[in-house]
Each structure stands twice: as structure tokens, then as C-alpha cells.
Amino acid sequence: MMQTVAKRSLALASIWAIACVSALVPQSPVEQTRLAVRSLKKAIDDCNEQGKAKRFYVDYLIPLPPETQAEDIDPWPGGLAQMYPYAETILKEVLGGIVGDEAGSCSSQVISQSDCCGFFVQESTVSPKNDIGAILFPGVDQLDKMQEIDAMVGKDRTLILFNRQFQRPVDFGFVGKGRAQTEIFDKYSWGFAFQEIACRGEDVKLTFEYPLWESCVICDEDLELGPQQVDLLAASKERPVYEDLKKEINIKLPEPLWMRKMGEVERKGFKFQRGDNQ
């Protein structure tokens, strides 16, 4: 899992190098935080109007540490423990942004030191009902704690699972999957997401800003054109599935990435053979 996170973080560095303006891909950590706050506010308002419990997932791509070098194989050798202080700062900014002008203090406590899991509470100076709780890096071993915190937060306040370390009920094992389905997957919905997946060798970005998922491919093989965004599926309330993304990529980018790169070599030669401005 740490290797996956590292690869996602490395790719994020290239995303933020994109010069062109993109409605889908956040251009900086500040922009990603702004989008997360905006999306969660809309989700919370909608749940309040419908009388629903405010339980949300957030997938946030954490930027690389400033000391990262281009040749680093793993920019996070310390795993979640190394990421935690960066994620803690980001999470507090998101929570404070949601509560806004009425934000009070933000407290935190470690739930599991070995699993690098923490619980945060952003208080509101106006009403306790506006307080927001969040669990950072919750994993399968924190099922009891998640259930306990859910009960403590209550139905009137918001609770967020921030960068969860599980994807499906089966991740909790044969014994825990049923309870995980009831206590987590049946209760929580997406509040914000910025995800990256590899599909047919392409660099696919998925974003969720309430209430819609959008998808695109970032093509950066042509140095003259620079990074280009190719939109894929139409915006949808359901998260795009792999097969649908693959079909759309086959239509919009019929040549695979390796073939497009070879075409660039045939036109311009290898990079080390080009001049400084080519």
C-alpha cells in the first residue's frame, strides 16, 4: 500500500506542473483544499436539507515533502508515519474551512500509534451541532473505534473518514465484513475525492466534487504542446468503473502511450539528441 501511495504522490507532483487551467485537476495543494472544502460544504448542506446523517469519505492526494528529489524511488520511506504531520495540517485546514468564520479550536488525539490513525474535532463557536469530526488514516483494525466515534459524534454532527486505508467490506476479513458493511459502507458517501488510477497504461484522474464524478487523462508526451487534458466519461453520480474508462480511452486515444511516444521519437529524435529548446 505504501508503494501505491508513493506512486500517487509522485504523479501528483507532475499534475501540479501543468500550466494549462483545468476544471478537473487541482493545480496546487491550496486549490485541492479549496475544492474539498467547497464540495464538503455542499454535501453537508444537502444532507441537512434531507435530514440525512452527515458521514463522508474524503480522498486527498497529499503533496510530496519539499526534500523530495526526482530520482527518489519512494518519497515516503517512512510510510504513514512520515505522512501524518503533513496530512494533519491539511486536514485541519479542510475542517477549519468547512466551519468557516465560526471556527473555534481544533483538537486531536492518536487512536492508534502503530497504525498512524488519529481523531480530530473542529469546534464551532456558534453551536456544538456545527462541530465536525474526522478520522485520519482509518484502517481495518479501527472498526471498533470508528463505531465508537460514530456514536459519540451523533447524528446531528458531521464525521469524515479522511484517506481511509480500506476499500471494500472484504478488507475487514470474513468475520468483520458484515459489520463493516453496516457500520461504514451503508452509512458513508463521498464528500470529496481526487484519485489517480492507471488504465490501459494511461494516467487517469478521477475527481469527485459533490455530487458528481468526473474523469480525464493527462497526456504529457508532446513537449511542444505541453500537458494536455483529455476528458473521458460524462459527469456522473456514480464513480466511473475501469471497463467504462478503458472503452472511452480506446475511443479518444486509440494509439497507446508507448506508440505516441515512439511517434515523437520518429519526428524529433531522442531527447538527448535534441537541442536545448526542442
pLDDT digits (tens, 9 = 90+) for 28-51: 999 999 999 999 999 999 999 999
User: pLDDT value at position 188?
Assistant: 98
User: pLDDT value at position 23?
Assistant: 55
- Domain region containing 148: 2-194
pLDDT digits (tens, 9 = 90+) for 182-206: 999 999 999 999 999 999 999 999 9
pLDDT(16) > 90 = no
Domain count, the chain: 1
pLDDT(164) > 80 = yes
Q: Do the domain assignments include residue 228?
A: no
User: pLDDT value at position 19?
Assistant: 37
Q: Do the domain assignments include residue 242?
A: no
Q: Do the domain assignments include residue 250?
A: no
Q: Do the domain assignments include residue 189?
A: yes
Q: Do the domain assignments include residue 167?
A: yes
8 A C-beta contact, residue 186 and residue 171: no
At 74, is the pLDDT very low, low, confident or very high (cuts 50, 70, 90)?
Answer: confident
At 269, is the pLDDT very low, low, confident or very high (cuts 50, 70, 90)?
Answer: low
Q: Do the domain assignments include residue 85?
A: yes
Q: Do the domain assignments include residue 269?
A: no
pTM confidence score? 0.85
In the chain, % of residues over pLDDT 90: 72
For residue 49 the three cell numbers come to: 436539507
8 A C-beta contact, residue 172 and residue 153: no
Say whether the peptide bond before residue 211 is cis (omega within 30 degrees of 0): yes
For residue 155 the three cell numbers come to: 447524528
Collapsing DSSP to helix, strand or coil, 187 comes out as coil
8 A C-beta contact, residue 226 and residue 240: no
Q: Do the domain assignments include residue 200?
A: no
CB count in 10 Å sphere of residue 16:
16
At 262, is the pLDDT very low, low, confident or very high (cuts 50, 70, 90)?
Answer: confident
Cell 507532483 belongs to 13
